[in-house]
C-alpha cells in the first residue's frame, strides 16, 4: 500500500497517517477479480449500495443521526471508522437540507415529485413520510436486481409498507408501485426506457421535480449522465438537482483514490469530466440552468454545521485524524442546481445554510442503538 501511495506522490507522513481511511470503501477490500465483463462490472457497481447502507447504519448506531428504517436493509452490520461516520452524517445532512427545502417550497399547482437515481437502499422516502411531509410521488430507480430486493423488503416489513398507499407488486414482484412511492428497475444508461416507465407511472414533466443523485452519476460515462441531464433540461419545466459525489481526481490523494477503486474494478467514469467544483456548476449552467452551486465537504463541515454539532460529535466518538478527514472531505462535493419556468423565486430561496428543525434533535447525543442490538434484515 505504501508503495502505491509513494508512487502517487503522497508523503510518507500522509501515507502512514491515513490508516483510518483504509476502511473507507474507496480504500478497502483489495479483491482481485480475474474475470471482468459487463455483468461483473454492473455487479460491482451494485455492491457499492451495500457499502453505502452499511456505512449509514454504522453512523446511526453511533448516534450521529436517526433513521429507524436503515436496519431493515443491512444483513451484516459493520462498525465504520470515525472519519467515515462523520462523512456519512454530513452526506445525509446536506441532502436532507436540500430535499426538505424543496418539499417546503411554496409552489401552487401540481404536487411535487422526487426521483432518486441509483437510489439503492436509501430510506429517505420513509423518513420524510414519518416526518409528515407531503410528496406527490417519490420515484426510485436502480438496477432491477437492487430494486427487486428493495421491493421485497418494503413489501415484507410493515414498518415500511405502512407508509405506502395502494401498494402493488408489478413485474412479478420485481417492482413496487403505490400512490406516492414507486420502485422501478432499469439501467440509467438506457434513460429513454426509464423516462418512458416513469411516465407510465404518473411522472409529470410539468410538476416541480427534484432529482437526487447520491454517489450515482459519477459511475456513469459522461455521455450517459449528460443524456439524463439533457433530458431533464429539455423536458422539465421546474427542476432541481441535488448531487453528492467525488471530485478532484488529479491531485495526489485523488489519484490514490481512483487507483484504489480501480483495483476493486470500480470506475468513477464521470470524475474526469467534472473534476472541480466549478465544473460541477458548469455542467448545469452551460445548459442554461438558472443557478448551480457546488461546495466541498470541508466547506460544509467548517461553515454550515451548527457549532454545537462539533461537541456533540466529539462526545459520540473521537476523531483524531483531522488531516485525513480534511483530505477525504476535499474530495467529495455537494452540488445543487435549478431551472424553473414557473417558480424561479421559490427555488432561489434554497440554501445549504438553512438548518432543519429535526437537526436539533440530533444535537444531544442519541441513545446509542449499538450494532449488535439492531434488528437485522433476514
Residues that bind ligand SAM (CB under 6 A): 45-46, 48-49, 52, 118-120, 122, 142-143, 146, 187-189, 214-216, 219-220
- Report the distance separating Cα 37 and Cα 35, nearest Å: 7
359 labeled part of a ligand binding site: no
Task: Give the span between the Cα atoms of 250 and 257, in whole angstroms.
Answer: 10
CB of 284 to ligand SAM, least distance (A): 19
Least CB distance to ligand SAM at residue 306 (A)? 23
Residue nearest to ligand SAM (CB): 118
Q: Is 95 annotated as a binding residue?
A: no
Taking the least distance from each CB to ligand SAM, the nearer of 56 and 62 is 56
Q: Is 214 annotated as a binding residue?
A: yes
Burial label, 234 (beta-carbon count in 10 A; 0-12, 13-18, 19+)? exposed
> In the complex with ligand SAM, which residue's Cβ is closer, 105 or 147?
147
Residue 134 burial (CB count, 10 A) = 11
Q: Which three cell numbers stand for residue 246?
A: 467525488
Which residues make Cβ contacts (< 8 Å) with residue 16, sequence separation at least 6? 2
Angstrom distance (rounded) from CA 140 to CA 122: 9
Provide the grid cell at 100. 426538505
Q: Could you tell me the smallest distance in angstroms from the CB atom of residue 108 to ligand SAM?
A: 31
CB-CB contact of 248 with 242 (8 Å): no
Looking at the Cβ atoms of 45 and 327, the one nearer to ligand SAM is: 45
C-beta of 242 vs 337, nearer to ligand SAM:
242
Strand, coil or helix: what is 175? strand
Closest Cα partner for 148 from 179, 185, 115? 185
CB 45, min distance to ligand SAM, A: 5
Q: At what angle do helices 144-156 and 38-62 cross, to 10 degrees?
A: 40
Cβ closest to ligand SAM, residue 189 vs residue 204: 189
Minimal distance in Å, beta carbon 117 to ligand SAM? 7
User: DSSP class of residue 111?
Assistant: P
Taking the least distance from each CB to ligand SAM, the nearer of 198 and 215 is 215
Work out how close the CB of 15 gets to ligand SAM at its nearest, in angstroms, rounded to a whole number.
26
- When the beta carbons of 10 and 300 are compared against ligand SAM, the nearer one is 300
CB atoms under 10 Å from CB of 310, counted, come to: 12
Burial class of residue 223 in the structure, from the number of CB atoms within 10 Å of its CB (0-12 exposed, 13-18 middle, 19+ buried):
exposed
223 is in an annotated binding site: no
Does 166 count as an annotated binding residue? no
C-alpha distances (whole Å) from 252 to each of 6, 15, 151, 352 are 9, 11, 41, 29
Minimum distance, C-beta of residue 370 to ligand SAM, in the bound complex (Å): 22
Residues annotated within the binding site for S-adenosyl-L-methionine are 91, 118, 187-188, 214
Residues annotated within the binding site are 91, 118, 187-188, 214
Amino acid at each position: 500500500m505504501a508503495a502505491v501511495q509513494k508512487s502517487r506522490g503522497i508523503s510518507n507522513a500522509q501515507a502512514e497517517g491515513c490508516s483510518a481511511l483504509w476502511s473507507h470503501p474507496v480504500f478497502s477490500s483489495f479483491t482481485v477479480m480475474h474475470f471482468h465483463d459487463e455483468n461483473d462490472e454492473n455487479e460491482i457497481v451494485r455492491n457499492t449500495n451495500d457499502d453505502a447502507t452499511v456505512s449509514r447504519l454504522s453512523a446511526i448506531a453511533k448516534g450521529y443521526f436517526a433513521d429507524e428504517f436503515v436496519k431493515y436493509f443491512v444483513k451484516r452490520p459493520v462498525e465504520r471508522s470515525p472519519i467515515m461516520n462523520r462523512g456519512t452524517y454530513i452526506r445525509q445532512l446536506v441532502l436532507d437540507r436540500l430535499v426538505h427545502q424543496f418539499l417546503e417550497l411554496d409552489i401552487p399547482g401540481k404536487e411535487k415529485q422526487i426521483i432518486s437515481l441509483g437510489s439503492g437502499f436509501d430510506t429517505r422516502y420513509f423518513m420524510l413520510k414519518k416526518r409528515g411531509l407531503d410528496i406527490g410521488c417519490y420515484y426510485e430507480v436502480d438496477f432491477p436486481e437492487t430494486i427487486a430486493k428493495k421491493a421485497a423488503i418494503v413489501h415484507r416489513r410493515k414498518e415500511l409498507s405502512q407508509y405506502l398507499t395502494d401498494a402493488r407488486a408489478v413485474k412479478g414482484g420485481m417492482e413496487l408501485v403505490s400512490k406516492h412511492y414507486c420502485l422501478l428497475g432499469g439501467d440509467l444508461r438506457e434513460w429513454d426506457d426509464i423516462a418512458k416507465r416513469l411516465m407510465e407511472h404518473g411522472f409529470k414533466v410539468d410538476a416541480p421535480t427534484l432529482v437526487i443523485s447520491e454517489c450515482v452519476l459519477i459511475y456513469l460515462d459522461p455521455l450517459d449522465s449528460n443524456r439524463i441531464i439533457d433530458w431533464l433540461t429539455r423536458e422539465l419545466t421546474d427542476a432541481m438537482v441535488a448531487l453528492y459525489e467525488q471530485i478532484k481526481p488529479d491531485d495526489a490523494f485523488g489519484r490514490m483514490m481512483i487507483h484504489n477503486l480501480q483495483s476493486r474494478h470500480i470506475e468513477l467514469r464521470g470524475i474526469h469530466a467534472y473534476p472541480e467544483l466549478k465544473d460541477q456548476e458548469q455542467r448545469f449552467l452551460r445548459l442554461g440552468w438558472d443557478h448551480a452551486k457546488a461546495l466541498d465537504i470541508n466547506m460544509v463541515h467548517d461553515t454550515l454545521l451548527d457549532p454545537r454539532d462539533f461537541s456533540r460529535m466529539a462526545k459520540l466518538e473521537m476523531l483524531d485524524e483531522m488531516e485525513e478527514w480534511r483530505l477525504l472531505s476535499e474530495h467529495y462535493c455537494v452540488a445543487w442546481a435549478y431551472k424553473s419556468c414557473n417558480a424561479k423565486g421559490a427555488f432561489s430561496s434554497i440554501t445549504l445554510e438553512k438548518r432543519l428543525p429535526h437537526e436539533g434533535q440530533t444535537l444531544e447525543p442519541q441513545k446509542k442503538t449499538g450494532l449488535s442490538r439492531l434488528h437485522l434484515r433476514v
